[in-house]
Amino acid sequence: MRLKDKVAVVTGGGRGLGRSICLALAREGSSVVVSDIDVQSAKKVACEVKEIGSEALAIRTDVTSGKEVDALMEAAAEDSGRVDILVNNAGICWVGKVEEMSEQDWDRVMAVNLKGTFLCSKAVIKFMKGKGWGRIVNMASAAGKTGGLLVGANYSVSKAGVICFTKSLAKELAPYGITVNAVAPGLIDTDMTRSFPKGAVASTLKSLPLGRMGSSEDVARAVLFLISEDAGYITGEILDVNGGMVMD
């Protein structure tokens, strides 16, 4: 129970990586605010968190709305006045070529993946600052380092932005005992990647050193490490969880 009495907010917590992160936090004793644009899925995950024995709250939030994000953090901090942990996981993918990409396709991916990460981080700061301890973990992507192979340029650019935002915020918040890190997953088996063209996934896997897709638990364990005391001297780090896809 490494996170007993901590309050965590996970965006996009209703399924996939977000759900596994919520459950991993719960197993360590943290109370979990499961936030998602799809409130039904958030409610289901909140029930699973409670079955593990931790407190949970399900809240509908669209991370592109500053107003909704502010309300989310207020609700999370209502009992204790604190939010100790924020996992900026909510994200969407777009698959296609720049020639086929509309202005709306570009804007929507940027709004959810990059602006959402900014809005949630900004809103949580006042509930972390002054407590001497805080953890922000952002969800980047291997595509944000190399440019996308299976995914659109809008997605890759949004994740490159998340990587740079992580490093900038890590510098700003270090004096307050708040670390800011990111994980950069490769190809992980979730609803997001199940919609990718099967042939393209198979050929990517063939050249992958570890030879398999990652699981959402693989990513959740890395997130948990960055939140743990073991990672207390790590900030501004982009942790690859990619089976050897990118080594830098």
Ligand X SMILES: NC(=O)c1ccc[n+]([C@@H]2O[C@H](COP(=O)([O-])OP(=O)(O)OC[C@H]3O[C@@H](n4cnc5c(N)ncnc54)[C@H](O)[C@@H]3O)[C@@H](O)[C@H]2O)c1
**Member of 30, 31, 54, 89 binding ligand X (CB under 6 A):** 89
Q: CB of residue 235 vs ligand X: minimum separation in angstroms?
A: 20
Identity of the amino acid at 208: L
Catalytic residue (one of 90, 155, 156, 165): 155
Largest CA distance in the chain: 51
**Torsion angle of the four alpha carbons 118, 82, 41, 52, in this order, in degrees rounded to the nearest 10:** 140
Is 166 a residue that touches ligand X (CB under 6 A)?
Answer: no
DSSP for 66-132, written as a single string: HHHHHHHHHHHTTTTS---EEEE-------S-GGG--HHHHHHHIIIIIIHHHHHHHHHHHHHTTSS
155 is catalytic: yes
Identity of the amino acid at 217: E
Q: Which is nearer to ligand X, 132 or 198 (CB)?
A: 198
Find the part of the chain contacting ligand X (CB under 6 A) among 31-39, 94-102, 119-127, 172-180. 31-39
Backbone φ, ψ for residue 64 (5° rounding): -85, -5
Find the part of the chain contacting ligand X (CB under 6 A) among 62-70, 74-82, 198-206, 230-238. 62-70
Is 227 a residue that touches ligand X (CB under 6 A)?
Answer: no
Size of the site for ligand X (CB under 6 A): 30
Cα–Cα separations (whole angstroms), residue 223 to 86, 139, 194:
11, 9, 22
Q: Which is nearer to ligand X, 31 or 193 (CB)?
A: 193
Tell me the H-state helices in the chain.
16-27, 39-52, 66-76, 103-109, 116-128, 143-146, 153-173, 191-194, 198-206, 216-227
Is 16 a residue that touches ligand X (CB under 6 A)?
Answer: yes
Q: CB of residue 1 vs ligand X: minimum separation in angstroms?
A: 26
Q: CB of residue 176 vs ligand X: minimum separation in angstroms?
A: 25
Is 63 a residue that touches ligand X (CB under 6 A)?
Answer: yes
Residue 214 is classified by DSSP as B
Q: Which is nearer to ligand X, 10 or 77 (CB)?
A: 10
Spell out, one character per residue from 179 to 198, where the chain touches ligand X: x when CB under 6 A holds, - when not: ------x-xx-xxxx-----
Binding site for ligand X (CB under 6 A): 11-12, 14-18, 36-38, 41, 61-64, 89-93, 112, 139, 141, 185, 187-188, 190-193
